[in-house]
Amino acid sequence: MKKSLIAGMVFATATFGSSAVMAQTTPSPTMVGNTPQVLDLTDGSGFFGDTFAMNNNGAMFADHFTFSVTGTTMSNFDAIISSISRSADTGLDITGLSLYRVGGGTGTSGTGMDTLVSSGTSLHSGAMDVWSLSSSGLSAGDYYVMVSGNLVSDTSASFGGAVMLAPTAPVPEPETYGMMVAGLGVLGILARRRKQQAANQA
């Protein structure tokens, strides 16, 4: 009986101790950045970016840059971003570039109902990070570009990028091709008649 009581106490202490250790979690990283920001597009193109102050080593950012597609014509979206520092262990690391469509009709990002449209591709990392993103066929609606990353030193840091939002080139309807073929046929018939008339007159 004594042995089972001691074994029970040891088991309870071990269980309580492991619960206490599990309850001690590392604090979540600090989020920095100026978000959301509106993309100021001039005829579909523009610049965007953010700057971070010193003494933010270990902080993370997930900046949103919002824009809208209007009208009935689909649009193509292209973006490139970069950051630069003296070495890979100073400044910031860009870890993601994504395009989201705002969901739920609320017009605000971060609702949990936003839809990932496209993810960017890392072209270079290290002292200089470069990412690009391309997406086709955006319909009318509200969107945002999300740039995410972390600060790897206590120096100040920044990233910047450029975007182009352009209407998709229209695809001709089948009727258009039919009319073009019919027109070429008529031109062929007229050319043949002229050739026959010239042969008859000679």
What pLDDT sits at residue 107? Answer: 45
In-domain check, residue 97: yes
In-domain check, residue 20: no
Residue pair 140/105 in contact (Cβ under 8 Å)? The answer is no
In-domain check, residue 19: no
In-domain check, residue 186: no
Residue pair 141/117 in contact (Cβ under 8 Å)? The answer is no
Can you give the pLDDT of all 202 residues of the chain as single tens digits?
A: 555 545 454 444 444 444 444 444 556 778 888 889 999 999 999 999 999 999 999 999 999 999 999 988 899 999 999 998 999 999 999 999 999 999 854 445 555 689 999 999 999 999 999 999 999 999 999 999 999 999 999 999 999 999 999 987 666 667 776 777 777 777 778 778 888 887 787 6
Number of domains in the chain: 1
What pLDDT sits at residue 3? Answer: 55
| Domain of 120, in residue numbers | 37-167
Instruction: Show the CA angle centred on residue 62, arms to residues 154 and 119, nearest 5°.
Output: 125
The total of other beta-carbon atoms located within 10 Å of residue 89's CB is: 12
In-domain check, residue 31: no
Give 6's Cβ-side CA count (13 Å radius).
3
Residue pair 156/51 in contact (Cβ under 8 Å)? The answer is yes
In-domain check, residue 175: no
Q: If you search the block for the tokens 């492991």, which residue do you land on?
A: 18
CATH number where 98 lies: 2.60.120.380
Residue pair 49/149 in contact (Cβ under 8 Å)? The answer is no
Q: CA-CA distance, 95 to 93, in Å (whole number)?
A: 6
In-domain check, residue 123: yes
Q: State if pTM tops 0.75.
A: no
